[in-house]
Structure 1
Amino acid sequence: MTTVDRSADVLLSDGTTVHLRRIRPEDAAGIVAMHSRFSERTRYLRYFSPYPRIPERDLKRFVNVDHDAREAFVIETGDRILAVGRYERLGPEAPDAEVAFVVEDAYQGRGIGSVLLEHLAAAARDAGISRFVAEVLPENSPMLRVFADAGYLIQRQYADGVVHLAFPIALTERSLEVQWRREQRAEARSIARLLSPRGVAVYGASASGHGIGAAILGHLRDGGFTGAIHPIHPSADTVGGLPALRSARLAEGIDLAVVAVPPEAVPGVVEDAAAAGVHGLVVVSAGFAETGTGSGTAAEHELTRAAHAVGMRVVGPNCLGVANTHEGVRLNATLAPRLPLPGRAGFFSQSGALGVALLAEADRRGLGLSSFVSAGNRADVSGNDLLQYWEDDPATDVILLYLESFGNPRKFARLARRIGRTKPIVAVASAARPTGATVLSGARSLPAPSSVTGTAPGPDRAGVAALFAHAGVIRVDTVAELFDVGVLLAHQPLPAGRRVGIVGNSTALTRLAAAACVDGGLVVAHGYPQDVPPGAGAHDFGDVLADAATDGEVDALVVALAPPVPGQLSDEDADFATALASVALAGDKPTVVTSLVDKMPAGVPAYPSVEEAVRALARVAGYADWLRRPPGTVPEVATVDSFDVLAAYGIQVAPTLPAESAREAVAAAGRLGYPVALKSSGEALRHRLDLGAVRLDLTDESAVGRAYTELADRFGPGVLVQAMVPPGVACVVELVEDPAFGPVVGFGLGGVATDLLGDRAWRPAPLTDRDAAAMVDEPRAAPLLRGYRGAEPVDREALARLLIRVGRLADEHPEVRELRLNPVLARADGLSVLHAEVVLGPPAVRPDTAPRHL
């Protein structure tokens, strides 16, 4: 019997949470109670008969399953079971199973059926079941729609008054796309309920007016929140000039609760808010996982569990709060006394401590916000949730993220690639990566590869930036850069290219701007910089700038303006701000300004130095380049179930073996003179295939065949190596886990120098055809592949195909923790892999391909 824990908190289509878990024998009473609440029609559609009560024999069978050939899940809120879904294999070892589920009337139409189908299909696949069958009455259109809309290839037959359905349950691009779109809608709705509440309850606001709770209450009141505000206090009649309630249950229409009570009082708040029908909690209180104590972590887990059990989402704990500047909401449930003006940028900050300063800086820069969320410990609501919400939010055009870590990196990368096509995403994020897996000694000593000991280069700072860029994210290094880029995106159009026109009244500044453009990968347009005489007035300066703005050879403008000599110009001639605004706000080319003269009008991005101005423009130009490139497609490849990415080049890697079998395999290989050694810690297995130490006579084909056959028969696929391969250009292919993107594939040319310089191209798995082709050409040493100094060009398409297969291997086999092919000899007629290192272990968590859950 499998022991995998399949319980999960899940979102329904209306944004509320429920809990999914396996059925238990003690659920009998709950199943009977649920059945009693069914309407006659629901009973008839599910059981094809009135079925007024569940016979004891049926009930016992319903709640007792083996979690393999027979599986069942229940959906519950609190201690109430709302739905049950099950499958039953059609005979021992049969590939088919019958699936069915039923949902309580009050919860029908909220997406429970599709959630149950996803989780049942995942469990069935793990049990070796490949196809579901179902029988549905023709009039049961909601159930037929659940199956039809799931993204599977459905076969339908009508016989004996029943619709017979059959469909394979393997994950497909179509079924994943359906799952992800449902996920997006549910997560967006759950956030919308937090940011546009009808009423807000504040727990923990003191009657004295002191403390965090009182501050937030005042900010809500003074910010002009359009809904009702209810301070909850155990004894006071008024708090902050507002009538106080003893419990949120005494008011109607409360959607959001702000919690600023001591951590030990939070469970009581959750209970009271749940009884009042609150949809979400903003927990400003500290004293949870951020303390680094086991009790704090346990309290945080219990907070999230209790909230999800009654349908609520949680922002925080230890957070700054949430805000929505929309005129119809005006919600300031934060510790910031004043919000920035309304604008088109959505802002997510993981840090609560920095939140007030970040909001103040946005206000100083004139960067208007549509909404703001500070997630604190991020026990529940995360940056990914906000991305889902902002994707379709008509009030948001630009997304700003301050991230300290990633909860679900693969999901972040997927969302960014999709959302970045319509709305730019700017992120401050750490470039750190984990040190890698630890592999213990096994049968005999082998030097651990650098990737295993944690010294592998992996994506360096530039590589991480490139990964973000190829996902459509503008990654910046500092908060200042975040606002530099955000202001530009919020107020100016995207550049059509990288050609820059530079206009200024100071030769020193324009030359600095030109140098900064070259360093930032921009191209100074022909005929620029254009220097206006220092004594020229605003009118003359504006004429030169207008000419540059209409220049067909210019895609963007950099303006450097130094102050004139005091008293040299009249007030009208000194009004450079108006002259700049008339050009910067009227054209279709982005304009950045370094002005030492006047404060620029709203909408004109101004920076204290030309370097900062050009850096922001370069970041935006890179994003515009990404938008112009077609996204590419992930090519279909043959199965990679047996690591045939290596087998295609003469190397096969055995599947994960228990420690004893690993030792036997090593011993068998040694007796045969076979070039394989394995290390095992019982849970992780490392294979090292090193052809440099081969002693076997590979010209004896019969010996090779006997060796391969013996290992394959006893331990599954073994190792088959190539011999006497012709020379070529040495390349390196790597696979590592990155904290921001999950599995990423790296490519570069071999050699100590390229390793030292980190000359690698990196992309997240799986790779598209365009990804792979670009990776081959990206390293600085790539000219060696194209026929450097008269050498014969290599087959770059073969290298691209290898990269695609490695990407699919990483995507489809989470047990592959690391991989290194070095060297890969590339030639005009193809390539050969001469050495491979693979680290296998317990499958890395891949929540982005699992059934939906929080």
Structure 2
Amino acid sequence: MTTVEQPVDVLLSDGTTVQLRQIRPEDAPAIVAMHSRFSERTRYLRYFSPYPRIPERDLQRFVTVDHRDREAFVILAGDRIVAVGRYERLGPQSPEAEVAFVVEDSYQGRGIGSVLLEHLADTARRFGIVHFVAEVLPANGAMLRVFSDFGYQVQRQFADGVVHLSFPIAPTETTLEVQRGREHRTEARSIARLLAPRGIAVYGASATGQGVGAAVLGHLRDGGFTGAIVPVHPTAATVAGLRAYPSAADAGLDIDLAVVAVAPETATEVVADAAKAGAHGLVVISAGFAEAGPQGAALQRSLVRAAHLAGMRVVGPNCLGVANTDEKVRLNATLAPVLPAPGRVGIFSQSGAFGVALLAEASRRGLGLSSFVSAGNRADVSGNDLLQYWQDDPATDVITLYLETFGNPRKFARLARWIGRSKPVVALASLARPPGVGDGPALDAAAVSALFAQSGVIRVDTVAELLDVGVLLAHQPLPAGHRVAVVGNSSALTGLAATACAAQGLTVADGYPRDVGPRATAAEYAAALVASATDEGVDAVVAVFAPPLPGQLADPETDFTAALPDALAAGKPVVATFLAGRVPAGVPAYPSVEEAVRALARVTTYADWLRRPPGALPELDRVDRLAGQAALRADGADPAALLRA
């Protein structure tokens, strides 16, 4: 849990962002204003009386706390306080405190009560409080559910028309799971709203059709986006054949997403305008932020702060954009003019340049895309957010990541370990962080390898390999073991494949490699391939084919690739390297046997990980690392050396 001496941003159940911080004496006017917006029912449920106004004496007590025996947090949406939560110790050195909170009517039912309870309990524990008590009217079902749904063992007593609650606030497996479940739902929802917007406002598209903004606008339009597209331009009546408006709100349409391609100095002005139109998120294509130096970093912080205060999430800045191939959405808010065909693979890239390469190479290989996000400087939306979204996304079966930082390696490992049990995660990690990208620790190669191996992540070393493995996972079942049948019409190619299998830790099955010879007919080759695929001693098949020399084949037009679909019917993975002929869709084809075998080996390792019992890892989030290191040193151990080991 993050301490909140400084304001923190939190996500609500609908994916919007609000700010949480400790209450301050100068909040008094805002507290009065919030109280004035309460309905009579909300006042009655919180104060057990109409309580039409806050007396000055009560007000000063509300806003003045010692942050130890008495603590209070406020939730801000923009510059308005919309909720307050507090606890008060029941007596000097008492281990019990009374907890209460109230939420403005328009923000009720969005998870604010759970957020406040989580932070209040965490703070109280640090000061020796182990029990919370609360008094709730029976009619306040929403508040009663906040306590019961959090996972605490709540004891209830009904007396004098009030429900008296008492519960220990020590974290348990149940409360941690509840917190993680809330985290998952809120982060996934915030990304879903970015990838399926009803309408998009585009800022920075020139009327001349030149520049980055005009390019993204054209790709949105030409990609067939199913929602409204609103170019925002100070003077032009139309941009790219679409009606333009000086403000997004002037369009009178449902705007969920703003695509920003304006100068960094004016980006915060866009935030204010997009917020008036009801936007939930920003995709900032513009460069010139943290990657450009200290001044740009300050502009980036201002941009994110303004967006979060307006309830919005930020993709970027300095990013390639976002895409969703769902037929109901058809979103191409990227700098790539053409997206890969619709498919079942999600792609996340921190780098815009790598994002371009990934999309282009995916198109060339026929790798179908479900959705794509380029995070750029990763000022807000990260790979962890996308993992949360893709975990439950019914359109995504395979997750591919290009990562330059790990903002929270522990969280990444936890998410990947959980998600990898149902959807494979393939990752390419850069060990060199570009300027301005993220704020997480840079990891060395050994640390990355260990992190991925323990989490079940399939680690690859190049963009080509990322897609090699992605294609295999998207189209083929997982192998049941390491035994590989190599079948081909060339002794050189089958020998190469067998050598590659040994080098990658795969076992060439008994009786293989099988070389049918250059004079074999298509029927003979097909029979050998199908026999290998149905062999009980085989877990996967590597099919290789070289064009025969002139005069070695009676019918050079015979289609040897036709045998591949029959081999697939056995339900085992088949990879192919055919130096002649077009391999049918659904069979991963590679230009060399080494690439084919390497991809198969990566997937086999993942299948091995899946077959191992998941086990149980200790919960380390709340471990006092400094105390642990001190204890190790007291025993004569070197903590750094132990970590390296």
Shorter-chain TM-score tier? over 0.9
Q: CA deviation at 1:117?
A: 0.5
Instruction: State whether residues 819 and 836 of structure 1, in contact with CA within 8 Å, keep that contact through their aligned partners in structure 2.
Output: no
Match status 1:504 vs 2:305: no
Q: How does 1:101-116 map to 2 (within 5 A)?
A: 101-116=101-116
CA distance in structure 2 between the aligned counterparts of 1:146 and 1:588, rounded to whole angstroms: 48
Partner of 1:815: 626
Q: Does 1:85 align with 2:85?
A: yes
CA contact (8 A) 1:320 1:334 kept: yes
Alignment of 1:772-791 (within 5 A): none
Measure the CA separation in 1 of the matches of 2:462 and 2:327.
Answer: 31
CA–CA separation in structure 2 for the residues paired with 1:156 and 1:612: 63
Deviations 1:13-41 (A, max 9, x none): 00011111111111111111111111111
CA contact 1:820–1:838 (8 Å) conserved in 2: no
Contact 2:488 2:494 in 1 (8 A): yes
Distance in structure 1 (CA, Å) of the matches to 2:563 and 2:298: 60
| Residue in 2 that maps onto 1:94 | 94
Q: Look up the SS of the partner of 1:353 in the other structure.
A: helix
Aligned to 2:72: 72
What is the 5 A alignment of 1:452-463? Answer: 461=445
Q: Give the Å deviation of 1:431.
A: 5.2
Q: Compute the displacement of 1:535 (Å).
A: 1.1
Cα 1:570–1:196 change in 2 (3 A) is farther
Structure-to-structure mapping, 1:117-516, within 5 angstroms:
117-251=117-251, 252-291=253-292, 293-430=293-430, 461=445, 464-516=448-500
* Structure 1 pair 547–820 and aligned structure 2 pair: CA distance change class (3 A): farther
Q: Residues 817 and 4 of structure 1: is their aligned pair in 2 closer, same or farther, counting only changes over 3 Å?
A: farther
1:783 aligned partner: none
- The verdict on how the C-alpha distance between 1:839 and 1:398 changes in structure 2, with shifts beyond 3 A counting, is closer
8 Å contact 2:518–2:552 — kept in the other structure?
no
* CA–CA distance in structure 2, aligned partners of residues 409 and 164 of structure 1: 41
| Mapping for residues 506-655 of structure 1, pairs under 5 Å | 506-566=490-550, 568-569=552-553, 574-584=558-568, 586-634=569-617
1:422 is paired with a residue of what secondary structure?
coil
Q: Which residue of 2 aligns with 1:708?
A: none
2-structure distance, mates of 1:820, 1:325: 54
Distance 2:443 2:139 in 1: 56
Larger Rg, first or second structure (1 or 2): 1
Distance 1:315 1:372 in 2: 12
Q: Distance in 2 between matches of 1:460 and 1:118?
A: 34
- What is the one-letter code of the residue matched to 1:334? T
Give distance in 1, aligned partners of 2:152 and 2:259: 42
| Residue 281 (structure 1) shift | 0.4
Counterpart residue number, 1:49: 49
What's the offset of the Cα at 1:560? 1.4
> 8 Å contact 1:817–1:839 — kept in the other structure?
no
**C-alpha distance in 1, partners of 2:622/2:17?**
29
Q: Give percent identity, aligned residues only.
A: 71
1:177-232, Cα deviation, whole Å (9 max, x unpaired): 10011111111111111000111111000111110000001100111111111111
Q: Aligned partners of 1:21 and 1:462: how far apart in 2?
A: 38
SS in 2 for 1:216: helix
Q: Distance in 1 between matches of 2:494 and 2:471?
A: 22
Equivalent position amino acid for 1:503 in 2: V
Q: Distance in 2 between matches of 1:33 and 1:159?
A: 33
Paired amino acid for 1:471: S
What is the rounded CA distance, in whole Å, between the counterparts of 2:276 and 2:265 in structure 1? 19
Unmatched runs of 5 consecutive residues or more in structure 1:
434-457, 635-764, 767-807, 823-832, 841-854
- 1:789 corresponds to: none
Inter-partner Cα distance in structure 2 for 1:178 and 1:147 = 12
Contact 1:317–1:377, Cα closer than 8 Å, also in 2: yes
Do the aligned partners of 1:352 and 1:376 also contact (CA within 8 Å) in 2? yes
- Structure 1 pair 602–266 and aligned structure 2 pair: CA distance change class (3 A): same
Distance in 2, Cα, partners of 1:569 & 1:461: 50
From the superposition, tell whether residues 591 and 330 of structure 1 become closer, same or farther in structure 2 (CA, over 3 Å).
same
Amino acid at match of 1:616: A
In the TM superposition, what are the counterparts of 1:674-753 in structure 2 within 5 Å?
Answer: none
| One-letter amino acid of the structure 2 residue matched with residue 140 of structure 1 | N
Partner Cα separation in structure 2 for residue 296 and residue 280 of structure 1:
21
Structure 1-normalised TM-score?
A: 0.72
Encode CA deviations 1:254-298: one digit per residue, 9 max, x unaligned: 11110001111111111100111111100000111011x221111
- Name the SS of the counterpart of 2:625 in structure 1: coil
Matching residue's letter, 2:609? W
Once the two structures are TM-superposed, the CA of residue 137 in structure 1 deviates from its matched residue by 1.2
Q: Give 1:277's aligned amino acid.
A: G
Evaluate the alpha carbon distance shift between residue 4 and residue 580 of structure 1 in structure 2; reply closer, same or farther with a 3 A threshold. closer
How far the C-alpha of 1:587 sits from its partner, in A, is 3.0
How far residue 811 of structure 1 moved from its aligned partner, in angstroms, is 6.0
Mark the CA change 1:459 to 1:191 in structure 2 (over 3 Å): closer, same or farther: closer
Q: Separation in 2 of the partners of 1:547 and 1:625?
A: 25
Residues 97 and 470 of structure 1: is their aligned pair in 2 closer, same or farther, counting only changes over 3 Å? same
Q: How far, CA to CA, are the matches of 1:184 and 1:386 in structure 2?
A: 10
> 2 CA distance for matches of 1:820 and 1:401?
38
Tell me the SS of whatever aligns to 2:599: helix
| Counterpart position of 2:438 | none
Residue deviations 1:380-418 (CA, integer Å, cap 9, x gap): 000000000000000000000000111111110010011
Gaps of 5+ in 2: 434-441
Q: Deviations over 1:495-520 (max 9, x none)?
A: 11111111111111111111211121
CA distance in 2, matches of 1:270, 1:339: 28
| 1:404-451 superposed Cα distances (whole Å, 9 cap, x missing partner) | 111111110010011000000000013579xxxxxxxxxxxxxxxxxx
Shift of 1:581: 3.0
SS at match of 2:84: strand
Letter matched to residue 366 of structure 1: G
Counterpart contact for 2:4–2:22, Cα < 8 Å:
no
SS for the counterpart of 1:35 is helix
The amino acid that maps onto 2:468 is D
CA contact (8 A) 1:46 1:102 kept: yes
Compared CA separation, residues 364 and 20, structure 1 to 2 (3 A) = same
> Are the aligned partners of 1:259 and 1:283 in contact in 2 as well (CA < 8 Å)?
yes
SS of aligned partner of 1:378: coil
How far apart, in 2, do the equivalents of 1:568 and 1:328 lie? Answer: 52
* Alignment-mate amino acid for residue 277 of structure 2: A
Q: Which residue of 2 aligns with 1:34?
A: 34
Distance 2:560 2:141 in 1: 67
CA distance in 2, matches of 1:462, 1:408: 17
The residue identity in structure 2 corresponding to 1:836 is A
Stretch of structure 1 that moved more, 188-197 or 118-127: 118-127
Q: 1:490 to 1:820 in 2, by over 3 A?
A: farther
